[in-house]
Each structure stands twice: as structure tokens, then as C-alpha cells.
Amino acid sequence: MSMSTIPGNVVERSLKVARAPFNAVLAPIGGADSAPGRFVDRAEAGVRTVAGALLRDEDLRQRGRAGFLASRERERATRLRETAEAQRHRADEVETRVAEQAREAEAAAAQKAGRERRSAERRERDRKENAAATATKKKKKVAKSTAKSARAKSKVDNSAQLRKLEAKEKSIEAKEEALQAEREAERVSGAAAAAKKARKKNGDS
């Protein structure tokens, strides 16, 4: 070991001793990957860089520079992980929201279909009831018209029958009158013949 590396080794040991309490505190919260851990890493890298420059220890300065760059990369990786996690979280929220909207749309569509089906069934039922009512009304009208026609026909038939009876009665009366007239004529003719015969008999005597 050269004399020029002794101060650098002293710095490294000093940093390890100083870092030990921080490691114990940082372990439960993520260690070097946590924000405080990265801050400690950058501070440690800064000490190495400054000490290397002051002690003209290029190796120590380069380790400091490398530690600083490594801390920045860990910080960048952490930001990327956090960004990815946030994007996943947003994607999950969007997926959940879209799924919920899809369920709501499906439920709304099912309700609408149910309403339309019930409306169609109600219209069909009303149509059948109206058709039945119309048919019943038409049947009643036809029955009423038929009954009216039957009554009118019966009335006409009764009137015709009555006229026939009246005509028959008149015919009978006329025949009786004719028979009476014929009998009266026979009686008168007989009486005249008898009177003539009587006159003739009286004239002969």
C-alpha cells in the first residue's frame, strides 16, 4: 500500500463508520432505495469526491463520482418504477371504471329490453282485448239486426196471414150471401110457380 492511498483508506473507513447508524435507520424503510437512503448515498459520494480532490486521490474521487452517478440512476429507476406503478394504478382505475360502465350499460340495456318487451306484451294484450270487444260488439249488432229482421218478417207474415183470414172470411160471407140469395130466388120462383098454378086451377074451374 502506497502512502498516497492511506488518506483515501482513512476516508473510506470513516465513511463506513459514519454510515452504519444510517443503515440501521434506513433498513426498515427501504435502505438505499428510499429517498433518505439516496440522500445519504449522494452525501457519501460528495464526501468521496471532495476528499479525493483535496487529497489528490483520483481513485477516491472516481469512486465518489461513480457513487453519485449510481445514486442518480437508482433515483431515476425509482421514479420510473413509481411512474409505472402510478400508470398501472390509473390503468386499473380506468379498467374498473370501464367495467362498471359496461355493467351499468348492460343493466340499462336489459331494463330497456324488459320495458320494451312488457310494452309489446301490453300492446298485444290490448289489441286482442279490443279485437274481442269489437267482435262481441259486432256479434251483438248482428244478433240485434237479425232479431229485428225476424220480428219484421214475423210481423209481415202475421199481417199476410191476417189478410188471408180476412179474405177467407169475406169469401165465406159472400158464399153464404150467394147461397141465401139463391135460396131466396128458389123460394120466390117456387112461390111464383105455385101462384101461377093456383091461378090456372081457378080459371079452369
Q: Are 70 and 62 spatial neighbours (Cβ–Cβ below 8 Å)?
A: no
CB within 8 Å of 61: residues ≥ 6 apart: 48, 49, 51, 52, 53
- The pLDDT of 110-138, averaged and rounded, is 88
Q: Which amino acid is at 95?
A: E
The pLDDT, as a whole number, for residue 2 is 43
* Residue carrying the nine cell digits 159472400: 174
pLDDT digits (tens, 9 = 90+) for 91-117: 888 888 888 888 888 888 888 888 888
Cα(65)–Cα(125) distance, integer angstroms: 88
C-alpha angle 51-53-54 in degrees, rounded to nearest 5? 65
What does each C-alpha distance from 143 to 148, 154, 179 come to in angstroms?
8, 16, 52
C-alpha angle 186-198-187 in degrees, rounded to nearest 5? 10
DSSP line for 125-169: HHHHHHHHHHHHHHHHHHHHHHHHHHHHHHHHHHHHHHHHHHHHH
The pLDDT, as a whole number, for residue 1 is 44
Cα(76)–Cα(96) distance, integer angstroms: 30
The answer to whether residue 4 scores a pLDDT higher than 70 is no
Least confident of 6-10, 68-72, 134-138, 160-164: 6-10
The pLDDT, as a whole number, for residue 6 is 58
The pLDDT, as a whole number, for residue 204 is 63
Residue of 53, 74, 73, 76 whose CA lies nearest to 64 = 53
* Other C-beta atoms lying within 10 Å of the C-beta of residue 64: 23
Question: With bands split at pLDDT 50, 70 and 90, how would you rate the model's confidence at 8?
Answer: low
pTM: 0.39
pLDDT digits (tens, 9 = 90+) for 133-149: 888 888 888 778 777 77
